[in-house]
Amino acid sequence: IPYNGVMFLVFLIWCQCSLGLAFSLSCGAKTVASGYIPNLRMKGGDDGQTLTLNDGTKHPIIGFGTYKVGFIPASASSAAVAPSTTTTTGPSARECVRTALEVGYRFLDCAQFYGNEKEVGMAIKESSIPREKLFLASKVWCDNIYRGPSAVRQQVLQTLQDLQTDYLDLYLVHWPVPGKHVQAYQELERLKDEGLLRSIGLS
């Protein structure tokens, strides 16, 4: 790599370290209630197959992502995804997820935006895998984040219904909306206290 290229890479690394340190120092002792998202940390698990989140939850390192599984969303800026606005390619999400579970995947990464949670739920039900053996993650999209806490809550309930489960192992604010993500996160905290969500965060 030319000298200029090396110096540019060093500069980028310095920026990342500086910003990370600044965020840690500014947010470490503050809470969502005061308008800050808490500093989140992860560490490797003893089994080499999980990460331990800051709340103690064991998060699998390897999972099956369901984005573009079954069909391709019209655009990454779509507020909501529906099959009528997508391009269908290959096997259905139901078939793909069923196959993923058959070959050993137990962590499924889902989202409202992906538009296929109902099919994912069908595949989970058909697999007959005990719920406690699965790690299910999902995310709330910008449209509901913008509408406010009640819309965030309603989306969580919809995802629980679609995935046919009583709780989610991890739920994230997907692509935080400026001025709205703190309220959304606070609602996730309430849902966590109610036992519907095990861990929460930002994506």
pLDDT, tens only, 39-62: 444 455 556 789 999 899 999 999
Give the Cα separation of 30 and 14 in Å (integer).
25
Percent of the chain topping pLDDT 90: 58
44 and 99 share a domain?
Answer: yes
CB 135 within 8 A of CB 53: no
Q: Which residue has the higher pLDDT, 81 or 199?
A: 199
pLDDT of 193 strictly over 70:
yes
In a shared domain, residues 21 and 50:
no
DSSP string over 20-68: HHHHHHHHTT--GGGT-PPPP-EEE-TTSSEEEETTS-EEES--EE-TT
- Domain identity same for 15 and 81: no
Laid out side by side, the sheet with 50-53 consists of: 42-44, 50-53, 58-60
Number of Cβ within 10 Å of residue 112's Cβ equals 22
Which pLDDT value is given to residue 26? 31
> What count of residues does the chain have?
203
Q: Indicate the average pLDDT of the chain.
A: 79
What single string gives the DSSP state of each residue in 75-135? Answer: -TT-SS--GGGSEE-SS-HHHHHHHHHHTT--EEE--TTTS-HHHHHHHHHHHT--GGG-E
Contact 81, 114 (CB under 8 A): yes
- Are 191 and 114 in a shared domain? yes
Q: What is the pLDDT at residue 22?
A: 31
Q: Kindly state whether residues 93 and 116 are assigned to the same domain.
A: yes
pLDDT in tens, 132-177: 999 999 999 999 999 999 999 999 999 999 999 999 999 999 987 8
pTM, two decimal places? 0.73
Domain that holds residue 88: 39-202
Q: Are residues 43 and 74 in the same domain?
A: yes
Tell me what pLDDT residue 46 has. 56
Q: What is the pLDDT of residue 48?
A: 75
Surface-to-core class of residue 111, CB atoms within 10 Å of its CB (0-12 exposed, 13-18 middle, 19+ buried)? buried
Residues 82 and 114 in one domain: yes
Examine the domain organization and report whether 73 and 26 are in the same domain.
no
Residues 79 and 175 in one domain: yes
Please check whether residues 69 and 118 belong to one and the same domain.
yes
Tokens of 41: 């940390």
Domain identity same for 23 and 102:
no
Residue 114 a catalytic site member? yes
Instruction: Dig out the tokens for 201 from the structure.
Output: 């965060």
CATH number at residue 136: 3.20.20.100
Do 122 and 46 fall into the same domain?
A: yes
Instruction: Report, as an integer, the average pLDDT of 69-75.
Output: 68
Q: Which amino acid, residue 124?
A: I
- Alpha-carbon distance of 17 to 15, in angstroms, equals 6
pLDDT of 88:
57
Catalytic residue among 36, 114, 167, 171: 114
Percent of the chain with pLDDT over 70: 68
Count of domains observed in the chain: 2
